[in-house]
Amino acid sequence: MTALLSISGLQKSFGAVVVADATSFDVSEGEAVGIIGPNGAGKTSLFNLITGTLKADGGRIGFGGADVTTNSAAARCKAGIARSFQIPQPFGGMTVFENALVGATQGAGLSGHEAEAHALSVLEETGLLAKANARAGTLTLLERKRLELTRALSAKPKLLLLDEIAGGLTDAECHSLIDTIRGIHARGTTIIWIEHVVHALLAVVERLIVIDFGKKIAEGEPKAIMESAEVKEIYLGVDPDA
Amino acid sequence: MIEWTGAIVQGVLLGGLYALFAAGLSLIFGVMRLVNIAHGDLIILAAYMGLTTTVMLGVHPFLALLIVMPLMAGLGYALQRGVLNQTLGDDILPPLLVTFGLSVIIQNALLEFYTADPRKLPGGAVETASLDLGGITVGVLPLLTFGIAVAVIAGLQFVFYRTSLGRGFRAVSDNQDIAQLMGLNKAHVFGLAMALALAVVAIAGILLGMRTSFDPAIGGGRLIFGFEAVIIGGLGNLWGTLAGGVILGVAQTLGAKIDPGYQILAGHIAFLIVLAVRPNGLFPRVEH
C-alpha cells in the first residue's frame, strides 16, 4: 500500500510551547489510525498543521504523493483533506443542507444537481436527512457532531480527520456514531481520529499513535499500545518502574 | 392633501436611489465586516466614468452602464485583492483608515481630472418625461430608478440565497476559518463580493448622475445616506435596506415640503429616531 499522508520531521512551536517536535508518521490509503495523548499534547495542532490552518515551522507534509507543506487550507481541502471539529462549528446561519452544499460545490468541485445529490447522500449517511432544512444553529449536540461529519464528508475527502467527535455523547449516541464512521471507512475513506473515548476509537482504528508534548512516543497495534507502559503512565499516572 | 401625497410618492422613489447607494455597502459589510468609507466616492467615480463614456462614445448613460459596470467590478476585485484584503483582521481600525485614505485619493484624483465644476449625465428625454397618476405627477426617471433598485435588491437576494456564489459569501461571513477548510479561497470570495458591490455602485452612480448634478466633493453625503438606509433597515437584510432607503427618502421629501432647507435635516432626524427606538434597525435579520 502507498502512503496517502506522509509526515516527516514536522516542527511547530508557539514561543516555548512545542506542539510538534520532529513528528513523523505515514498513513496508508484506506487505513484508519487513532491518535491519543493527554490534553495539550498537540493532537489538535497536528490536525491544524495537516489541514493548513497552521503553517509548519519545519518538516514536510506529503499528501497523495505531492508536497503540500506550503499549500493553503482551501487548496488542501480541494486536494482531499477534510476535518471535523471537536467543538462543532457549523455555518450557523445556513441550513444543514446548505452547509453540506458548500463542501460539495467548493471542496468536491461539484455543481448543480450533482452537488445537491452528493450533499443529500452524505446527509443520508450521517442520519441528518430529516434535518436538512433546519438551520444549523438550532441543532442539538449529537446533530451538530453529525453535521461536523457531514460537512467534512461533503467535500469528498480522501483523508478524513476526526477531532474528538465522540466526546460528550451518551453511550447509545456514541454507538450509532461508531456505526456511521465504520461505514465511511468501509467505503475506503482513510481516517485519522483523535479521541479520548478510547472504546469508540478501538472499535474502528487499526493502528494507534500516542503523542505527548508534541512528540510521537508510541505507535502500533491498538491493544498492545493500550497495554504499554508509556500509555499507562500518561493516562493513569502509573510509574512504569514501580 | 394631494401635495403631501405627491411628496410621499417622490420620497419613496428617491428611496430607491438611496437603497442603491446602500446595497453595496450592506453587501460588503455583511460578507467581510468591512466598513467602506470610500463607498460614496466610488459612486461619484462611477458617475464620472459614465460621463466620460457618454461623451467619448456619444451613447446614452444607460448604455454606458455596459462599460462602467464591468470596469467598476474589475476595479473592485483588484482593490479588494490588492489592498483591502491586507487590512482585514481582528482589528476594525485598519480597513476604516485605508478606505478613508482611498476616499481622499479618489476625491482629489477626480478634482484633478474633471475639475470642481458640477457635471451632469445627459439623460435626454427620459429626464423630463413624466406620468400622471391620478393627479400626482411622477417622473419617469425616478420611477425607473425605483424599479431598478427593486430589481437589484431582488437580484442580490437571489444570488445570496439561491446560488453557490451566495453560499460562498454566507459561509465566509459565517465562519472564515471553516469556510477555508471547506475549500473556499477567502481572498477570492472577498474579491468577488467587492466586485459585485461595485457593479451595483456603477448603477447607483449612473442613476445619480442623470438625476442631479455632481462634483468630486459630494461622495461623503452619499455615503451618509447609504449608511442611514442600511442602519434604518437593519444590518444584513437587503429588503430592509430598500425599506430604509424609502423611509429616508420620504423623510427628506416631507422635510423639504415643510421648508426646502429641512430636507437633509429631516432625513437625519428620522434616522436618529430609528436609532433611538430600534438600535438594530427596523428589520434586523433574525440570528441564531
Q: What is the mean pLDDT of each run of 10 residues along chain A (242 residues)?
A: 88 90 93 91 92 93 94 94 92 93 92 93 94 93 92 95 91 92 94 92 93 89 87 70 57
Please return the burial class of B34, using the count of CB atoms within 10 Å of its CB with bins 0-12, 13-18 and 19+.
buried
Q: Does A74 contact chain B (CB < 8 Å)?
A: yes
Whether B164 and A115 lie within 8 Å, measured CB to CB: yes
Residue with cell 446595497: B23
pTM of this structure: 0.88
Nearest CA in chain B to A48: B181
- CB contact at 8 A, B142 and B20: no
A101–B contact, CB cutoff 8 A: yes
Place of cell 503523542: A211
Q: Do A137 and B288 touch (CB under 8 A)?
A: yes
Contact B177 A135 (CB under 8 A): no
- Which of B182, B186, B190, B287 is best to mutate for the A interface (most A CBs within 10 A)? B182
Residues 146-185 of A with CB under 8 A from B: 151, 154-155
**Chain A to chain B Cβ contacts (< 8 Å):** 81
Q: List the domain boundaries for chain B.
A: 2-217
Phi, psi of A18 (to 5 degrees): -95, 120
Joined grid coordinates for residue A220: 502500533
Per-residue pLDDT of chain B (288 residues; tens, 9 = 90+): 788 999 999 999 999 999 999 999 999 998 998 999 999 999 999 999 999 999 999 999 999 999 999 999 999 999 999 999 999 988 989 999 999 999 999 999 999 999 999 999 998 898 889 998 888 889 999 999 999 999 999 999 999 999 999 999 999 999 998 999 999 999 999 999 999 999 999 999 999 999 999 999 999 999 999 999 999 999 878 999 999 999 999 999 999 999 999 999 999 999 999 999 999 899 887 553
Identify all chain B residues contacting A135, using CB atoms and an 8 Å cutoff: 288
What distance in Å separates the CA atoms of residue A178 and residue A155, rounded to the nearest whole number? 20
Q: Which three cell numbers stand for residue B260?
A: 426646502
**Nine cell digits for residue A67:** 508536497
Q: Which residue does chain A place closest to B176, by CA atoms?
A: A91
Q: What is the 3-state secondary structure (H, E, C) of B91-133?
A: CCHHHHHHHHHHHHHHHHHHHHHHCCCCECCCCCHHHHCEEEE
Per residue, what are the HEC states of B138-182?
EEHHHHHHHHHHHHHHHHHHHHHHHCHHHHHHHHHHHCHHHHHHC
Residues of chain A contacting residue B288, judged by C-beta atoms under 8 Å apart: 92-93, 135, 137-138
CA–CA separation, A207 and A28 (whole Å): 11
Would you state the pLDDT for residue B288? 36
- The per-residue pLDDT for A16 is 87
Beta pairing, strands A3-14 & A17-28: antiparallel
**How far is it, in rounded angstroms, from Cα B193 to Cα B27?**
7
- Are the Cβ atoms of A102 and B167 closer than 8 angstroms? yes
- CA-to-CA distance for B266 and B258, rounded, in angstroms? 10
ipTM greater than cut 0.90: no
For residue A107, the distance in angstroms to the closest alpha carbon of chain B comes to 4
A129-184, pLDDT tens digit by residue? 999 999 999 999 889 999 999 999 999 999 999 999 998 888 999 999 999 999 99
Q: Which residues, listed in sequence order, are joined to residue A63 by a DSSP beta bridge?
A: A5, A66
